[in-house]
A and B are shown apart, each in its own frame.
Chain A
Amino acid sequence: MESRKLSLFLAMLTTVLLIGPVVMALSSQGWELESLFVLPEEDMADIEERMTEFQNPGDFRITSEDLDTETGDFEVHAEFDSSVDFDILLRKFYAEVYLQEEAIGEVWLEDAVVFEAGEVKNFKLIGFIEDEFIDLDEDFDGEEDEIPDELIEEFMGDISGWDQDDYIGDMGYVQFENISVEIEVMGIDLLLEDIIGVEGS
């Protein structure tokens, strides 16, 4: 008899400790069974926010470009304003420099750079502009809006559709296309290839 009571007590103890919390959980969720297994709305909102941050970790901006018209060496100074609370390691960056629809050069990242969480970081891309596209700048020392049409026509060669503003010296209308970026975020290696379209400064 004593033994049965003990067995019953032990069985009841297990049952109460396992069923009780389920009932309490159900009660806290308005007796909706499904909601027991689903993340609370505030958690879902936090996750969505974090995912958005992960996809848009900050603002990338090109601050200036330098073209050495003697050698064709091309430097792009850029800044990244991190809006996330994790570091981002930019391992590689490569882009083709486009003017209108013409590829005129290439730029890449010289050394890997770490964008620290929440910080603004300046970094430099190096590269070149093809000789044929820097002649214009060599031959013209005036202001942008003073470029004579004849000069533009002379050096634009067979590139059609350019207008007076599309000259190389200022790089005002260059774009970076076919961009490849290799980054490491939270231990995850990400390789983004052939991204289209980042405008110059």
Chain B
Amino acid sequence: MKKKTGRSFVKYANWPGVVTGFLMVIVSFMGSWWRVQFGDGFIEMAVSPFYYEAVFMGEEISIPLLSYLLPAVQALLIIGGFFMIIGSLFNYKDWSEKLSKFGFRKIFWPLLTFIIILLVGTFLTNNFMGEFLPGDNQEIDGMDEGLDIEAPYVVGSGDIDVDLNELTASVPIEMSLTSGFWMALVAVILGIFSRKFYPDLVKREDRSSGGGFYDAAETGRRDMG
């Protein structure tokens, strides 16, 4: 493998990967990705794979497992970000791919899982919640009760209408994705680009200029197993 000079180091570093790594570190400190609010501060929830905040009428609610687990997930994301940066900077090293792959997974899978959970969650809430809770014209203990949920899908506003005998309540729901989510999405898109497309781009350029660095690096990695 070629020994890299300062100039070639700049040339051969996987810069989109480096940016992805930085974004991952920043994202890990940006808190929630998604917020849902019932009423005006009646119930507020802000969540991400490494952060959660649940407030009921101003009282913060804590779940023991999450209090321990989420900081560790946050630490993994930070470590993943740093590994992504190191792996992308030292792109010519044998271990770089493993390191950046590890790093990238720490943002890719949480984001994907998060999106799936949000979509499935809102779908189930909108379509099946009424099956489990008393719906229109159903009777409980002789009372006509009704529950009508019109929750938005991930983003937007809607209402939960509760109709009990003497009480009718309309609870507005507001859902929004935060800047943390969008930054995570950018990080993932950039990460995919850095892993799938950027090496080919640089390789093509490298070959056309007669450098052959990437071919040598790849051979080195293959040899390493």
Contact = CB atoms under 8 A, between A and B. Distances in A.
Contact of B69 (A6, A22, A35, A186): A22
A3 B169 contact: no
Interface in A41-97: 43, 46-47, 50, 53-54, 85-86
A21 B95 contact: no
A22 B65 contact: yes
Interface string A167-188: 0000000000000000001111
Contact of A37 (B63, B224, B225): B63
A54 B57 contact: yes
Given A13-B79, A37-B63, A50-B59, A22 B68 contact: yes
Interface of B: 38-42, 56-65, 67-69, 71-73, 75-76, 79, 83, 94-95, 98-99, 102, 166-172, 224-225
Nearest to B168: A191
Interface of A: 2-4, 6-7, 10, 13-14, 17-18, 20-22, 24-25, 28-29, 35-40, 43, 46-47, 50, 53-54, 85-86, 185-195
B98 A6 contact: yes
Nearest to A10: B102
Interface of A is mostly: helix
B42 A2 contact: no
Contacts of A185: 39, 42
A29 B65 CA distance: 9
Contact of A21 (B69, B98, B167): B69
Contacts of B72: 17-18, 20-21
Contacts of B75: 17
9 contacts: A17-B76, A21-B68, A22-B65, A40-B62, A50-B57, A85-B58, A186-B42, A191-B169, A193-B167
A103 to B, nearest CB: 19
A53 B59 CA distance: 13
A18 B110 CA distance: 13
A188 B170 contact: yes
The 4 closest A-B pairs by CB, nearest first: A187-B40, A187-B39, A25-B68, A21-B68
A90 to B, nearest CB: 15
A190 B69 contact: no
B56 A189 contact: no
B76 A7 contact: no
Contact of A188 (B76, B99, B171): B171
